A and B are shown apart, each in its own frame.
Chain A
Amino acid sequence: MNRQVTLRVNGVTQQHSVEPRLLLVYYLREVLGLTGTHVGCDTSQCGACTVLLEGQAVKSCTILAVQADGAEITTIEGLARDGKLHPLQTGFWEEHGLQCGFCTPGMIMAACQLLERIPDPSEAQIRHGLAGNLCRCTGYHNIVRAVQHAARKLLETKQR
């Protein structure tokens, strides 16, 4: 028995009739075609599916689309504004914070929330803040650098 859901995704209102068992991540990927959000595991460990729900980083493989009814969602596709990359996106690029790129969207979304909460995080705080996101390529070294890079840029912008 399908249910009607209305969400605001990357600033656009979406209304669809979905199966109650449809996971939010498959709603984003297969109903909306936002394939930047990835699925890397089936037990909520890897964090590749991380999106922002009402500004909070959530694993979209662990929430049903119907549970997100009425929510505001931001995915990796909605991060750049007016064709300008988010400082986290440039940070990951500048610091070589990605290799295969599969974990990257989730990693960036998790880092978004981290910098929201702690604008000037220590290395330990970055590592702790990303503990729910796994990367098998980078050893996290340049991911830490990327987040530090973004934190610097965001602070500079604020101070201006």
Chain B
Amino acid sequence: MAAPAVGSRIKRREDPRLITGTGNYVEDVTPAGTLYMALARSPHAHARLRRVNVKDALQHPGVVAALTGPEVRQIVDSVPCVVDFPDLKKPKWPVLAVDRVRYVGEAVAAVVATDRAMAVDAASLVQTDYLPLTAVTDPERALRPRSTRVHAEFKDNQAWYSLTEAGDVDSAFREAHVVVKQRLVNQRLIPLAMETRGVVAQYHAASGLLTVWSTSQNPHQLKSQLAALLGLPENQVRVIAPDVGGGFGSKIDVYCEEILACIFALRLGRPVKWIEERRENFQGTIHGRDQVDYVEVAAQRDGVITGLKVKVIADVGAYWGFFSPAIATSTIGLATGCYAIPNFRGELYEVFTNKTPVDAYRGAGRPEAAYIIERAVDLVALELALDPAEVRRKNFIGGPFPYATAGGMSFDSGNYRAALDKALQSAGYQRRRSEQKRLRQRGRYQGIGLSSYIELCAIGPWEMGAVRVDAAGKVTVLTGTSPHGQGEETTFAQIVADQLQVAVEEVAVQHGDTAVVPAGIGTYGSRTTAVGGSAVLNACLLVKEKAFKIASHLLQVPEDRLTFAQGTFAVKDAPDRAVTLAKVAAQAYTGSVPGAEMGLEASAYFEAPNLVFPFGTHVAVVEVDPETGEVKLVRYVAVDDAGNIINPLTAEGQVHGGIAQGVGQALMEAAVYDESGQLVTGTLMDYAIPAAEDLPLFETAFTVTPTPRNPLGAKGIGEAGTIGATPAVVNAVMDALAPFGIRHIDMPLSPERVWRAIQESAKARPARRRGPSARRRGS
């Protein structure tokens, strides 16, 4: 028997089409007679919308139809948010604005024309009359009693509040030897999948079938939502997510453009296509992060943390996206990190502002938690002059598992110390520290930053997997997950190959089409392998069960006298009496077997019983140029533990990409609004994401602590890199700047911000001046 497929570095089966330019993305789908849609969007962050007139637009050559808010409202009430909490303020997000606009980029009218350029031209001819109002852009100001309200129907901008308490936090702080406090800004980010969003809607009147191609991460949910919104039975709506060019959470939501394209398609009986421009993507696709966090830590002299207080002010933007209200709850849930902190108080304020709605972006609440606790641990270490690695070691949860945290989570399994030790060893931590001292004496400022993060994944409620062995013994797998870069056409084939003992090449994995895959939830929250892979595994077990019945019939022995190895069912003690899986499959479709119905296929729904918690330690090494404030990431070591790894090649790929986005937040990225609510970083010219030159090669490794919560023992690796990287890099920069007496700088740690902090520290401490500016790098 060949080596198991699971655990092997198998190159991806989705690649041949993607490297030859023959993939099929939504923009590549253009049915005959397609019309193009374009939107008119609000230039104001907050305004009364007194008039929208599409008369001129309709007269433009090639224009076929147009819609405005009041008309659409008759058909579809609002853009859906599926989260409900007690006391959650839940304003309606109109598909097209009615009477009022609440963020720059909010859609106010839609036009369709016979070609893309004509549609864009016509959208610019939509006449609007706005009465600008004061915009609220700062979440802390938005919470003040007399603030302008984003939604007039509510008495204030506080969208939701929650309090989580465990232990006796006040006593812990009273009795603490040291209390460390810090305000942390976790800035707003643009998800920025390289493919913008897009949709093609086609209605076939004779059959009553609405087909929707969408850049969705979760086509089955989109199907259910569109059916409900449009008043169609679900079996008349088919959603296809073909090749999708990245999502990072931003393609979970049901967006107004998908609803509008369907309305036009139903009305006009012609296919309607909309492809988002990058500029629209910056304003109209959900944003990520955007919290102001206040953290207070109570600690003993030896570095043991006894209490933690966290106040999270989450700027949610103008409306709720699909999952928005739940995002920041993960920040509270994971605020204690992988540390045994018994006394905890977490307060969460979710706040409306006149900005683009915030929803799930890679990590979605967990990177914020990791940033809070990992910065806080470093500040404790700084305060007590202890090694940050030592403070982490002293506070790690040591078990037993399952472990109930103060934040209300039940951790499944973990060996936090092992990951830390391995990362420190790989990075040559002790040597690095001595090297750092030497370099400082030569006027070079190197910093070493750690982050021992915890992650939460395997969000339910369930996932569907189906496995069919055809009469020739080839295998087709259907999964309700909807990978868009993660590579499950390969990794799920690996799982099945081992179970059914066929070659990976003989397994075809299909996903993303609701007419092909009967049911599904989707791909987000690092759930695909843990939940979706487990469903596929369970479906394999059912197929095998049936195959045993058929083999038992063919070999005329009871099932318990059969073994299944190397793709063959054989009689124990008489291995020459054997039958292959292919033969069993052929029998399943050609001859009846007593006690078993025809066919060889099964589907399974895997219910996620509880969340799983990957973890790891990342080490970043940076060098700061004190004269320019430039931060150079010189080395990056990541040790991640996602339980059992299906394919190390693709798992590493997930870590690499995650690190890049985490580094992006730490050093470069920020969605900046001015006071009037204009997004001033609204194009790729103004919003910096890491390019190849900004990053080093990454050193990655895994420790393996399987989860008992699913049959694969797998946790999730999609977001871990992002969660670990941001605090590791910021801690490294702060470590580099320690000689300047700098304790904290808010992200992104751009050259300007770092340079200013150094200048201010020099002003405040003139004696220090000699050090930093004296000699540097060979000059």
Answer yes or no: B15 CB below 8 A from chain A CBs: yes
The answer to whether A101 touches B14 (Cβ under 8 A) is: yes
Which residues 1-27 of B sit at the A interface, judged by CB distance below 8 A? 11-12, 14-25, 27
The distance from the CB of A118 to the nearest CB of chain B, in whole angstroms, is: 15
The answer to whether A38 touches B27 (Cβ under 8 A) is: yes
Of all chain A residues, the one with the shortest Cβ separation from B191 is A136
Name the A residues within 8 Å of B650 (CB-CB): 96
Given A48-B194, A89-B20, A102-B194, A39 and B11 touching (CB < 8 A)? no
Q: How large is the interface on B (under 10, 10 to 19, 20 to 34, 35 or more residues)?
A: 35 or more
Answer yes or no: A34 CB below 8 A from chain B CBs: yes
Name the B residues within 8 Å of A66 (CB-CB): none
**Which of these binds chain B: A1-9, A127-135, A152-160?**
A127-135
User: Interface digits, B677-713 against A, CB 8 Å rule (1 contact, 0 not)?
Assistant: 0000001110001111101011000000000000000
Which among B28, B275, B659, B692 has the highest number of chain A CB atoms within 10 Å?
B692
The answer to whether B248 touches A136 (Cβ under 8 A) is: yes
The answer to whether B20 touches A80 (Cβ under 8 A) is: yes
Given A43-B683, A143-B692, A100 and B195 touching (CB < 8 A)? yes
The answer to whether A36 touches B21 (Cβ under 8 A) is: yes
The answer to whether B20 touches A102 (Cβ under 8 A) is: no
Of all chain B residues, the one with the shortest Cβ separation from A93 is B15
The distance from the CB of B726 to the nearest CB of chain A, in whole angstroms, is: 14
The answer to whether B20 touches A85 (Cβ under 8 A) is: yes
Given A96-B11, A101-B15, A136 and B21 touching (CB < 8 A)? no
Name the A residues within 8 Å of B516 (CB-CB): none
The answer to whether B15 touches A98 (Cβ under 8 A) is: yes
CA distance A139 to B699 in the complex (A): 12
Name the A residues within 8 Å of B689 (CB-CB): 134, 136
Contact of A127 among B15, B21, B693 (CB under 8 A): B693
Contact of B246 among A77, A102, A124, A140 (CB under 8 A): A102
CA distance A139 to B246 in the complex (A): 13
The answer to whether A123 touches B697 (Cβ under 8 A) is: yes
Contact of B684 among A108, A126, A134, A139 (CB under 8 A): A134
The distance from the CB of A123 to the nearest CB of chain B, in whole angstroms, is: 7
Answer yes or no: B398 CB below 8 A from chain A CBs: no
CA distance A100 to B246 in the complex (A): 5
Of all chain B residues, the one with the shortest Cβ separation from A39 is B27
Which among B12, B275, B650 has the highest number of chain A CB atoms within 10 Å?
B12
Contact of B649 among A77, A96, A100, A134 (CB under 8 A): A96
The answer to whether B684 touches A141 (Cβ under 8 A) is: no
Given A100-B246, A136-B248, A36 and B22 touching (CB < 8 A)? yes
CA distance A35 to B27 in the complex (A): 8
The distance from the CB of A121 to the nearest CB of chain B, in whole angstroms, is: 12
The answer to whether A43 touches B278 (Cβ under 8 A) is: yes
Answer yes or no: A60 CB below 8 A from chain B CBs: no
The distance from the CB of B153 to the nearest CB of chain A, in whole angstroms, is: 37
Name the A residues within 8 Å of B487 (CB-CB): 99
The answer to whether B660 touches A140 (Cβ under 8 A) is: yes
Answer yes or no: B199 CB below 8 A from chain A CBs: no
Answer yes or no: B193 CB below 8 A from chain A CBs: yes
The distance from the CB of B54 to the nearest CB of chain A, in whole angstroms, is: 24
Answer yes or no: A142 CB below 8 A from chain B CBs: yes
Of all chain A residues, the one with the shortest Cβ separation from B21 is A36
Which residues 235-288 of B sit at the A interface, judged by CB distance below 8 A? 243-246, 248, 275, 277-279
Answer yes or no: A42 CB below 8 A from chain B CBs: yes
Which residues 195-250 of B sit at the A interface, judged by CB distance below 8 A? 195-196, 243-246, 248
Which residues 78-92 of A sit at the B interface, judged by CB distance below 8 A? 79-80, 85, 89, 92
Name the B residues within 8 Å of A85 (CB-CB): 19-20
Answer yes or no: B661 CB below 8 A from chain A CBs: yes
CA distance A96 to B11 in the complex (A): 7
The distance from the CB of B529 to the nearest CB of chain A, in whole angstroms, is: 15
Name the B residues within 8 Å of A93 (CB-CB): 11-12, 15-16, 19
The answer to whether B21 touches A76 (Cβ under 8 A) is: yes
The answer to whether B685 touches A43 (Cβ under 8 A) is: yes
Contact of B19 among A41, A104, A142 (CB under 8 A): A104
The answer to whether B246 touches A137 (Cβ under 8 A) is: yes
Name the A residues within 8 Å of B472 (CB-CB): none
Answer yes or no: A116 CB below 8 A from chain B CBs: no
CA distance A116 to B116 in the complex (A): 36
The answer to whether A35 touches B656 (Cβ under 8 A) is: no
The distance from the CB of A22 to the nearest CB of chain B, in whole angstroms, is: 8
Answer yes or no: A119 CB below 8 A from chain B CBs: no
The answer to whether B691 touches A99 (Cβ under 8 A) is: no
Name the B residues within 8 Å of A126 (CB-CB): 692
Answer yes or no: A57 CB below 8 A from chain B CBs: no
Given A77-B22, A100-B485, A141 and B15 touching (CB < 8 A)? no
Given A38-B27, A100-B195, A100-B484, A139 and B695 touching (CB < 8 A)? yes
Name the A residues within 8 Å of B117 (CB-CB): 19, 21
The distance from the CB of A115 to the nearest CB of chain B, in whole angstroms, is: 15
The distance from the CB of B273 to the nearest CB of chain A, in whole angstroms, is: 11
The answer to whether A101 touches B691 (Cβ under 8 A) is: no
The answer to whether B195 touches A139 (Cβ under 8 A) is: no
Answer yes or no: B69 CB below 8 A from chain A CBs: no
CA distance A89 to B657 in the complex (A): 20
Name the B residues within 8 Å of A94 (CB-CB): 11
CA distance A96 to B698 in the complex (A): 14
The answer to whether A99 touches B27 (Cβ under 8 A) is: no
Name the A residues within 8 Å of B14 (CB-CB): 101
Of all chain A residues, the one with the shortest Cβ separation from B196 is A40
The answer to whether A89 touches B695 (Cβ under 8 A) is: no
Given A41-B278, A128-B693, A140-B692, A101 and B485 touching (CB < 8 A)? yes
Answer yes or no: B466 CB below 8 A from chain A CBs: no
Answer yes or no: A58 CB below 8 A from chain B CBs: no
Which among B652, B657, B689 has the highest number of chain A CB atoms within 10 Å?
B657
Answer yes or no: B192 CB below 8 A from chain A CBs: yes
Name the A residues within 8 Å of B485 (CB-CB): 99-101, 137
Name the A residues within 8 Å of B193 (CB-CB): 100, 102, 136
Name the B residues within 8 Å of A14 (CB-CB): none
Contact of A142 among B24, B28, B279, B653 (CB under 8 A): B653
Name the A residues within 8 Å of B697 (CB-CB): 123, 141, 144
Name the A residues within 8 Å of B685 (CB-CB): 43, 45
CA distance A56 to B759 in the complex (A): 45
Which among A77, A85, A101, A103 has the highest number of chain B CB atoms within 10 Å?
A101
Given A101-B14, A127-B693, A141-B698, A37 and B194 touching (CB < 8 A)? no
Of all chain A residues, the one with the shortest Cβ separation from B691 is A131
CA distance A21 to B657 in the complex (A): 37
Answer yes or no: B353 CB below 8 A from chain A CBs: no
Given A93-B11, A96-B653, A101 and B22 touching (CB < 8 A)? no
The answer to whether A100 touches B245 (Cβ under 8 A) is: yes
Which residues 152-201 of B sit at the A interface, judged by CB distance below 8 A? 192-196
CA distance A45 to B192 in the complex (A): 13
The answer to whether B653 touches A40 (Cβ under 8 A) is: no
CA distance A10 to B192 in the complex (A): 31
The answer to whether A38 touches B195 (Cβ under 8 A) is: yes
The answer to whether A138 touches B657 (Cβ under 8 A) is: yes
The distance from the CB of A78 to the nearest CB of chain B, in whole angstroms, is: 9
Q: Which residues of A come within 8 Å of B, CB atoms?
A: 19, 21, 26, 29-30, 34-43, 45-46, 48, 75-77, 79-80, 85, 89, 92-94, 96, 98-105, 108, 123-124, 126-128, 130-131, 133-144
27 contacts between A and B (CB under 8 A): A19-B117, A30-B30, A35-B21, A36-B22, A38-B195, A40-B196, A40-B245, A42-B683, A43-B684, A76-B19, A92-B19, A98-B15, A98-B19, A99-B246, A100-B246, A101-B14, A101-B485, A102-B195, A103-B194, A108-B19, A131-B693, A136-B657, A137-B246, A138-B660, A139-B658, A140-B691, A143-B692
* Known contacts A37-B21, A140-B690; 16 further A-B pairs (Cβ under 8 A): A38-B25, A40-B196, A43-B683, A45-B685, A46-B684, A76-B21, A99-B486, A100-B245, A100-B484, A101-B14, A130-B692, A135-B692, A136-B661, A138-B656, A139-B690, A139-B698
